[in-house]
């Protein structure tokens, strides 16, 4: 898996996933899990940066933590869904928030899916595989 930096470019055919989490260890774990997809991983630790990266790179999928240091994941999703460039990008909430109300709020904001931390690696892999296969089938 190739981790993108500001100046890195990807092949037009290569899958791009934006992972947003303020915890570097969580981003490293996602890097390992997503390694099986041979994709380019773009990472952000803040919501504002995630919005900029989504616009610049138009990823195929976004894995989004909810509790971020600047703006929360709900606001990030709302901004994405209002942006014509990013509105169709599937967003999966990856969060420690496990209440039914949290799930409903995230799905209402525009997330396609919701998985709670700590998650089973197989569960995350299955969700990612589902959304990527839907996009390219």
Domain locations along the chain:
2-136
Mean pLDDT value of segment 13-33: 93
Residue range 65-95, pLDDT digits in tens: 999 999 999 999 999 999 998 999 999 999 8
Predicted pLDDT at 7: 37
Residue range 33-72, pLDDT digits in tens: 898 888 899 999 999 999 999 999 999 999 999 999 999 9
Instruction: Report which of residues 48 and 8 the model is more confident about.
Output: 48
Beta-bridged to residue 116, according to DSSP, are 95
Rg of the Cα atoms in the chain: 14
- The fold for domain 2-136 equals Rossmann fold (3.40.50)
| Separation of alpha carbons 91 and 83, rounded Å | 14
């Amino acid at each position: 898996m190739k981790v993108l930096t500001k100046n890195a470019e990807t092949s037009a055919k290569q899958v791009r996933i934006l992972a947003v989490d303020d915890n570097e260890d969580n981003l490293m774990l996602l890097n390992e899990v997503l390694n099986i997809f041979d994709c380019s991983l773009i990472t952000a630790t803040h919501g504002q940066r995630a919005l900029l990266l989504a616009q610049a790179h138009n990823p195929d999928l976004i894995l989004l933590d909810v509790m971020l240091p600047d703006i929360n994941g709900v606001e990030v999703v709302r901004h994405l869904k209002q942006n014509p460039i990013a509105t169709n990008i599937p967003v999966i909430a990856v969060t420690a928030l496990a209440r039914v109300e949290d799930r409903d709020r995230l799905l209402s904001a525009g997330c396609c899916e919701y998985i709670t931390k700590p998650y089973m690696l197989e569960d995350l892999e299955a969700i990612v595989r589902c959304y990527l296969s839907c996009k390219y089938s």
